[in-house]
Amino acid sequence: MLERFFLMPKTLDRIRGSWLGPSIELYVTALCEQGYSARSIYRRVPMLLQFGAFAEARGVHCLDEAEKAIEPFLADWLARRRNRSDKRQREDRNLCRPVLKGFFCIVARHSRYYRFRTAVAEPFEANVPGFFGYLQDERGLRPGTLEHYRHALRRFEAYLETVGSTDLRMLSLPVLTGFITTSAQVCQHRAMTTLASTLRVFVRYLKREGITKRDFRKSVETPQHYRLAEIPRSIGWDAVQKMLDQVDRRTAVGRRDYAMLLLMATYGLRAREVAALTLDDIDWKRDRLHVRERKADHTTAYPLAPAIGEAIVDYLKNGRPGVESRELFWRHPAPQAPLTYVTVSTCAGKYLRKAGIPVSRPGSHTLRHACVQRLVDEGFPLKTIGDYVGHRAASSTMIYAKVQVDGLREVALGDGEDLK
């Protein structure tokens, strides 16, 4: 595999002459399988050779022992680059450590490596160590729900440190009220609802474990929110077309993004549903698109629109990496992996901002709202629209029937003479 990148015999001999030579060759093979470019390999191999020489000079000839020399080598490697700018030094540091950690992860532990991250301690782990075990074992909460609990409780933990009240045994109602009031200034109503619910569960657990003498659960009030009180953050179809015009379809990434944006704007698909699509979900013979495992626990089959079919075919022929897995949309920077729903939503937000379309919280749901609003404007029944976009309850669709957004916008911008 090394001959594919290094043509000079002296260079090959120097790599294979190092005690790390066989491991470097295995590493390069693994990088090729994960879709890394030649430029990435050219940057990594010389660094590994320098690390091998550094470790050998200190009497290290074993991979298990060499891994302990990563930090000393990094300090020495950066010290020899002090004449570079601060920006270049940060780039060197951000490249060197992940390369060495990834090398040992792939070669010594035979596992894929993305980036080592320092584990963050659970909130209130020192004072209430069993809380997350209680949530998982007794309440049976899913990992995604536990993340919401961690996020809310880290905010509460930071607030207690700010006000100097870290002893949970001294927790009082004014402290809880102050936290809710402070959070309400920066959080929207949905985030506040989650925050209040998490806090009620937490203070009830504190009382159960005898950490607090009083049960503050009933004192934590959920903010009032009225159903259908908001207007969906939809955009007009002209704005959708303006956003699609920002995609450079000459590139592989542009072909992929264009197909995803069309799916979200035409069918109102959620980011999770787009990320979960596979090659098996497209029935080319019957011109059908199957969306499985939707939020409402059902499957929807859509007619495959010609424009969307052409966009997907263009991506499959000229953009999708040559991988054996059946997932439809893939990331292009190495290591190759299927797209996550976060990336899909971020992609939509990127093009909305690039088109200069003013909308709060731009993302995949903006296109979903635009799809529903267009169907409402065309006069389709709300039940039909709800089934089309996969709404679980009719109330989810009713909000779009509250106002005619475009009509009100024309009245607001006009001189008022049309009003009777």
Which member of 249, 320, 368, 374 is catalytic?
368
Coil, helix or strand for 269? coil
Residue 386 near residue 394 (C-beta atoms within 8 A): yes
Interatomic CA distance for residues 152 and 241, integer angstroms: 38
Respond yes or no: is residue 109 known to be catalytic. no
Buried b (16+ CB within 10 A) or exposed e, 180-208: beebeeebeeebbebbbebbbbbbbbbee
Respond yes or no: is residue 151 known to be catalytic. no
Respond yes or no: is residue 391 known to be catalytic. yes
Residue identified by tokens 């203070």 is 203
Q: Which residues pair with 290 in a beta bridge?
A: 301
Long-range contacts of 58-62 (CB under 8 A, 24+ apart): 61/19
- Does the CA dihedral 225-227-229-233 come out positive or negative? positive
Query: CA-CA distances (angstroms) from residue 334 to 31, 36, 95, 231?
Result: 8, 5, 14, 40
Coil, helix or strand for 322? coil
Torsion, Cα of 317, 319, 325, 327 (10° steps):
-100
Which member of 149, 267, 351, 400 is catalytic?
400
Residue 351 near residue 246 (C-beta atoms within 8 A): yes
Q: How far is CA 213 from the centre of its chain?
A: 41
Which member of 200, 270, 369, 374 is catalytic?
270
- What the block records as the tokens of 338 is 């299927």
Interatomic CA distance for residues 266 and 277, integer angstroms: 15
- What the block records as the tokens of 59 is 């009497």
Respond yes or no: is residue 332 known to be catalytic. no
- Residue 126 has, within 13 A of its CA and on its CB side, a CA count of 4
Which member of 294, 320, 365, 374 is catalytic?
365
Q: Which residues pair with 406 in a beta bridge?
A: none
Buried b (16+ CB within 10 A) or exposed e, 17-36: ebebbebbbebbebbbeebb
Which member of 295, 326, 354, 392 is catalytic?
295
Residue 31 near residue 41 (C-beta atoms within 8 A): yes
For residue 369, the tally of other CB atoms under 10 A from its CB is 20
Q: Which residues pair with 210 in a beta bridge?
A: none
The catalytic residue positions are 270, 295, 365, 368, 391, 400
